[in-house]
Chains A and B, each alone.
Chain A
Amino acid sequence: QVQLQESGPGLVKPSETLSLTCAVSGYSISSGYYWGWIRQPPGKGLEWIGSIYHSGSTYYNPSLKSRVTISVDTSKNQFSLKLSSVTAADTAVYYCARHLGSGWRIDYWGQGTLVTVSS
């Protein structure tokens, strides 16, 4: 059974960098598929942040591209998100996920982690 687990600080100060890691179990990232980050502000809808292919190719939401970096560590079977210069608008539940197929459907999600941006 594939499982994803997000980890990282739950509170980040404005202007600083949000950093999260997603540990994957039950499947080797180096075997394939795309691995992504999606966020959901409290009470609102879903927003795709970006994704990385197992080979390291990255794809970012154009609206966030200038602030986002996604990387993969196949030796630890995990991938990471960095979002710089955060503001209160970046407060959200952050999900990591696996997506596949020609339509990038998301078949496995992490449980999500709430990150609050506040001083």
Chain B
Amino acid sequence: EIVLTQSPGTLSLSPGERATLSCRASQSVSSSYLAWYQQKPGQAPRLLIYGASSRATGIPDRFSGSGSGTDFTLTISRLEPEDFAVYYCQQYGSSPPGLTFGGGTKVEIK
């Protein structure tokens, strides 16, 4: 089973700053199988990035994803007030088929 470790646990930043979130896998993951989600309090998660770097429908271009192998990154170029939330990475494993989520990174207002 592949384990996803997200860091840091909490990121304290100001609006307008750049946020860099890390997701590290215990084994190599196909880039096609890596996604990122945003979750705000009391809401279901929302898909931001899939295939490691493709933005989902309606997601602003300040969100970008990159990485390969075991190291993946979600970058928010300039934080807007609505971006303060918890972010999760997710990978799909094929043997057996299933999903794994990272523990999450909370981006909070400094």
Contacts and interface: CB of A to CB of B under 8 A. Distances in A.
A106 B96 CA distance: 18
Contacts of A110: 44
B34 interface: yes
Contacts of B43: 111
B101 A106 contact: no
A45 B101 contact: yes
Interface stretch (A18-26, A79-87, A95-103): A95-103
Main secondary structure of the interface of A (DSSP, over half): strand
B100 interface: yes
How many residues of B sit at the interface, in one of the four size bands?
20 to 34
B55 to A, nearest CB: 12
Interface of B: 1, 30, 32-35, 37, 43-47, 50-51, 56, 88, 90-92, 96-104
Interface of A: 36, 38, 45-48, 51, 59-62, 95, 99, 101-107, 109-112
